[in-house]
Structure 1
Amino acid sequence: MRITRNLRIWAGAPLAAAALIALGAGTASAAIPINKPMTGKATYYTDAGYGACGTQINASTQLLVAVSHTWWTTANPNNDPLCKGIAVKVTYQGRTITVPVKDKCPSCDSTHIDLSQPAFATFAPLGQGVINGLSWQFVKTGLAGRTIPLTDPITGSTIGR
Structure 2
Amino acid sequence: MGKIAKALGTAAAAMTIPLVAQGTAYADIPIGQTIQGNATYYDAAGYGACGTQINAATEMLVAVSASYWTAPNPNNDPLCQGVFVEVTANGRTVRVPVKDKCPSCSPSHIDLSLPAFRQLADPAQGNIPVTWKFVR
Q: TM-score range with shorter-chain normalisation? A: 0.7 to 0.9
Cα deviation digits, residues 78-106 of structure 1 (max 9, x gap): 11010000000001121011000000000
Distance 1:42 1:33, change over 3 A: same
After TM superposition, list the pairs within 5 Å mapping 1:104-123 onto structure 2. 104-123=101-120
- 1:26 deviation in Å? 2.4
Residue of structure 1 in register with 2:133 after alignment: 137
Q: Which amino acid aligns with 1:69?
A: A
> Is 2:36–2:132's contact at 8 Å kept on the other side of the alignment?
yes
Question: What amino acid maps onto 1:65 in structure 2?
Answer: V
Structure-to-structure mapping, 1:88-103, within 5 angstroms: 88-103=85-100
2:122 maps to amino acid: P
1:44 partner letter: Y
Could you say what the CA RMSD is over the residues aligned between the two structures, in angstroms?
1.9
Deviation at 1:14, TM superposition (A): 8.4
Amino acid at match of 1:139: V
Deviation string, structure 1 residues 21-75 (Cα, Å, up to 9, x no partner): 5543222010111111111000001110110011110001111000000000001
**Aligned pairs, how many?**
128
> Displacement, 1:120?
0.8
CA distance in 1, matches of 2:13, 2:59: 44
Counterpart pick for 2:53 among 51, 56, 60: 56
Secondary structure of the residue aligned to 1:100 is strand
* 3-state SS of 1:70 partner: helix
| Corresponding residue SS for 2:58 | coil
Tell me the TM-score normalised to structure 1 length: 0.73
2:63 is matched with: 66
What is the CA–CA distance in structure 2 between the aligned matches of 1:49 and 1:106, rounded to whole Å? 16
8 Å contact kept, 2:62–2:99 = yes
Q: 2:24 is paired with a residue of what secondary structure?
A: helix
Higher RCO (Cα < 8 Å, 6 or more apart): 2
